[in-house]
Structures are given as C-alpha cells and as structure tokens.
Structure 1
Amino acid sequence: MSFEQLKLKNQLCHRLYMASNSIARAYREPLAELNLTYPQYVVMMALWEQDQITIAELINNTAIDGGAMTQILKKMTDKSLLAVVKDEHDKRKRLVQLTQQGQSLKLKAADIPSKVLCKFNNVNTEQAKQLMQLLDLVVNDLSN
C-alpha cells in the first residue's frame, strides 16, 4: 500500500495551513508600523466597519475564539485603541468601542490591504475573488 492519501502534497488542509502562515508573515511588516498583531488588526477592521458592538457580536464578526478575544481586547485597551464599557440599556452586556486613537488608526491602515495584495505576483484580482468565494464555501461547510 502506497498511502498516497497521507502525503503532504495531496493535502488540501496543509496547503491552507501554509497559505495562512504565509499571509500572516506578509502582514507582519505593515502591521508592525501600527503596533498591531494580525488578530488585533482583524478586531480593528471589524470595529471600523461597525463601532460600539457587543463582545459577542465582535466574536461572531471576526470568528476569533472567545478566550483569545478576551486577551486581545485587554491588550488593545492597554494600547488605548478601544474601551470595553457596560451597555446603558442592558448592564449584562459589554460594548466594545473605539477610542479617538483607535479611530485615527484607520487612516494609517488604509493602504495595508493593497500593500499585501501587491505581494501576490501570480494571482490576479479575479482569481483572488474566486479564492475568497471558495474559502467561504470551505469555512461554511466546516462550520456546520
């Protein structure tokens, strides 16, 4: 038996793992200029899209694990990028809101996507869109 099914070259999951690591490395330098890690950047993008949301909504929007989110929010609060406050209407809920410093970081981050996309020498815009659609299908299938 040759066990072809166990060879790395035949594994979709390993290619996704390698791609994920490569993308994280591509973001490292531009995000270092903003003093952000990639997960912190994801949180910032979610809040730039919709500020003052509950922690549960933020977890849902970013797909970041709850335990990891707690640590991320603490570090970002320490950097004065956001605040976690009690909801005025429901004291059981906590809202995440950007500070002025967090809001102003949006302008500095505006060119990061294009900086990273420029590193895709062999993938055109249409292929990138197709890849996003395929990855959405993979995530949807594995989430259900």
Structure 2
Amino acid sequence: MDADQQPINYLATSIMTNLKVNVQEHFMQMLLKYINLRMDKKGNMKRLPKWSGARNAFFARLSWIKGLCLSEHVPTEEEYASLSDLQQELLDDILTILPPVAVGADAEPVAYLVTVDAMVLFPAYCRLLRLYEYHGYPQFQAIPLRS
C-alpha cells in the first residue's frame, strides 16, 4: 500500500501547488479585467476625448471603484449612495464572490490575500469565471490543464 500511496501524494501535492500558483498569478489580473469590462473602459477611452475632464473623471472614478472592489477602502453610506446602479451591481457582484476575510471594515485587501493565502481565494476565482460567463465576456480557464 505504501508504494501506491507515494505517487498519489505526489500527484495531490502537484495539483494543489499548480492551483495555488495559478490563483496567485491570475486572480487579480482577471478580477481587474472584469471590472474594466463591466465599466466599459475601452468604450469610454474611445468615446471620451484625450486629456478631457470627463475622461479624467471617469478614470478617477474607475480607480476608486477598483479600490472598493479590492477591499482597499470601505465605502461610507454616502459614498455607496453615490454609486450608479451599474457600479453598485458591480461592487455587490464582487463582494459576493469574495470570502468573508476579504469583505467588511476589518477585511484584508485582496492583493494581500492573493500573496499570503491564495487558496482562500480559489472558490472566488471559480465564481469569477461564472460572472464572466453570465455577462457573456470571453472565458478564461480557472483550472488550467497541462497537455
């Protein structure tokens, strides 16, 4: 039995390591891309004139929303009320997929969690893929398979 157990243990360790590295390398990237897609960053870049106040305001707002979504800042009641319907939906979607340790007033920033304990974000990574699918965005492979 011991001879059979060693390859199984090696395979299990290899799979877990691969998942952890994948979450560490891609979760933040795919989360930020999702925010950009929902906020139509490319469309606004084409629509708003370069160096205009409206474009600067859009990017400032986008940066602030990303901070909210990544648990870098917890919005006050007034700040939350100032969000558009799309922005509120986006924030709610992201806060729903994140684990409890990444949500709330005493939450750890998502970037910190990805670095320190990536596997706590693995379920959120899979739920993020579902959000991509739900909104019709290009899919990514949450669990890459080597050939």
Structure with higher helix content: 2
Higher RCO (C-alpha 8 Å, min separation 6): 2
Going by fraction, where is strand more abundant, 1 or 2?
Answer: 1
Fold match, TM over 0.5? no
TM-score by length of 1: 0.30
The TM-score with structure 2 as length reference comes to 0.30
